[in-house]
Structure 1
């Protein structure tokens, strides 16, 4: 059933429209009539029709206001404007809102029925196309899930392979460029939604498919590929940022615990839930040095500070900076400063005197 709502403040106009619609056959049904835009919006809210037929000059809320509201909320709804000769400028404004058609009063039955039939046939074609589009979308879902996985796991080579498989499937299906564009847009929306959910990013790459109306299959694929690779880049940047933040968190942990003899590479990696291998790699990228060199540097600076106080015995200094073995401390200290802990103390205590 093709549902219709009519809006006009003249009862005779609404009665005439109902009679014409009933004359067109049982395919059509008038599910509501309104006197002004406000009443029409209430009807539409509860029972959105396929087609809205409205006058322009009406009390409370006129046709132009109604059309603007409807197009904002129900973009796909068909709208026919009925206009008097003196209201032609208003009809022009209505056309700017992408109404389907406008008819002049008095209404000519044949013209009205022809317009109604044309809108209905387009509706049926769109419905069939949508059904085919839905089936096509499901047939591509397995490839789409692999593309999502490749993006999220940062597998660039795998992503290129999956994109190529997707392209070959589109071409093998024999679909035209119009349906192909819909498939690419639908899949891109799905991919971006899933990656956004996993990453917390706000991805809207489907707009890349929209600006131009006509594309070849090759051009459509290029845009689809570019958008997917763009998402991969954003995920890589997110991962790099996340790793950097994790390493900074680990550095704070190390700075707070370097005097503890239990501090180790494993405990530092565990503090940020990273494997030792990845932790070593990213720690060096962030700091420019290895974990051990960083910790040793902290300990040596603290040792120098403590050794300048003659009340701190050398072996106690070793313990206070995380060395349980004095000889290990002495060896590390000499390698770092060029002198033993005792030599360093004697030199600096003498200089202070």
Structure 2
């Protein structure tokens, strides 16, 4: 299991990391970030299973950080750590879909129980059903990537929890579900751009799963470094 801890106060962060390393399940890897921007840079490659974040940080608060992480598809589980016991914070945390809301100073037993529960939710390669789930999921997305797919769609189709699917994708492919889906779509778009000169860029985008031409061009450039039109002209 991979854990990312985020707090802008160095002493608190060091203490948090020490506690997590002490009580987390065996084999847990723990990394730390001193602010929201460091956290965002780190997690794009680290892809933690759970992020423990402070709420009150100067660059971005914890809720803003969680929103951006979710948008990027880099982590699905969050534990909020704060010194403020206010109902509005609790309500916002619930709306953000966090695993739990913990008050400082941290309780070792409480964080140990939380991390243990999260570890049980993660896919385990030794489970007899793991390879079957992995094969079914990857085969399904390779066949249906042109559809409007989401983790919830896959969860319903496969009768699995969205968090399990997200973790399985990371473990099997090294990519988040969103990145894996986009890579399949952009690869298919590249093939169409080279082989079907009569199709417009917009039509190709729609064929590979993007309703918006602008969004298709934006994603295409992110993964290839160029626009669909320029890619076609340079072939």
TM-score bracket for this pair, using the shorter chain length: 0.5 to 0.7
Q: Label 1:130 to 1:93 Cα distance change in 2 as closer, same or farther (>3 A).
A: farther
User: Tell me, which stretches of 5 or more residues in structure 2 are unaligned?
Assistant: 160-235
Could you say what secondary structure the match of 1:85 adopts? Answer: coil
Q: Which has the higher contact order (CA 8 A, sep 6+)?
A: 2
Corresponding position of 2:133? 133
RMSD over equivalenced CA pairs, Å: 3.3
C-alpha separation between the residues in 2 aligned to 1:58 and 1:51?
Answer: 19
**3-state SS in 2 of match to 1:61:** coil
- 2:147 aligned to 189, 192, 204, which one? 204
Report SS of the residue matched to 1:5: strand
Q: Aligned pair 1:83/2:101, yes or no?
A: no
Residue 59 of structure 1: aligned partner: 58
- Give the drift of 1:108: 1.0
Structure 2 distance, partners of 1:36, 1:119, is: 24
Alignment match, 2:122: 123
Structure 1 residues 242-287: Cα deviation after superposition (integer angstroms, max 9, x where no partner): xxxxxxxxxxxxxxxxxxxxxxxxxxxxxxxxxxxxxxxxxxxxxx
Question: Does the C-alpha gap of structure 1 residues 51 and 204 become closer, same or farther in structure 2, counting only changes over 3 Å?
Answer: same
The 4+ residue runs of structure 1 with deviation greater than 6 A are: none
CA offset digits 1:41-75 (Å, max 9, x no partner): 11112322222110111111111110000111126
Secondary structure at the residue paired with 2:122?
helix
Larger Rg: 1
How far off its partner does 1:204 sit? 2.1
TM-score (structure 2 length as normaliser) = 0.55
Cα distance in 1 for partners of 2:45, 2:148 equals: 34
How many residue pairs are counted as aligned between the two chains? 156
State the alpha-carbon separation in 1 of the partners of residues 83 and 4 from structure 2.
19
Contact map agreement 2:2 2:50 (CA 8 A) in 1: yes
Summarize the Cα distance change of 1:20–1:127 in structure 2 as closer, same or farther, 3 Å threshold.
farther
Residue in structure 1 matched with residue 38 of structure 2 by the alignment: 39
Unaligned runs of 5+ in 1: 138-181, 194-202, 217-353
Distance 2:114 2:65 in 1: 21
What does residue 98 of structure 1 align with? 97
**Alpha carbons of structure 1 residues 60 and 23: separation in structure 2 relative to 1, 3 Å:** same
Q: Which has the higher helix share?
A: 1
Name the structure 1 match of 2:8. 9
Alpha-carbon distance, 1:34 to partner:
1.8
Q: 1:206 to 1:51 in 2, by over 3 A?
A: closer
Residues 81, 91 of structure 1: 8 Å contact kept: no
Between the aligned partners of 2:65 and 2:133, the Cα distance in structure 1 is 31
